[in-house]
Amino acid sequence: MNFEEALSHMKDGGVVSRSGWNGKGLTAFITDLEIDEQHTSLFVLKSASGYNQWVPSASDLLAEDWILH
């Protein structure tokens, strides 16, 4: 599956991962955040150590190994 399909799934509230990621249990999703009455959406990467903001790399954007959860 390509990133466009994975992004659509995340926009619908879904969670995705890549078979090419080395970390066990890594998943990505989009969350909405409100700061000072301004709304924004962020990519979040969940790992064994917690949650971090994530910016997809060029290789993530071009990958064909996305998995929907």
Residue 23 is predicted with a pLDDT of 80
Domain edges within the chain: 3-68
Contact 32, 13 (CB under 8 A): no
pTM above 0.85, yes or no: yes
DSSP 3-state assignment of 49?
Answer: coil
Which pLDDT score is estimated for 51?
96
- Alpha carbon distance 3, 65 (integer Å): 9
Instruction: Render pLDDT for 17-65 as a digit per residue (tens, 0 to 9).
Output: 999 898 888 999 999 999 899 999 999 999 999 999 999 999 999 999 9
For residues 53 and 33, give the distance between their C-alpha atoms in angstroms, rounded to a whole number: 12
d(CA 13, CA 58): 23
CB–CB of 3/63 below 8 Å? yes
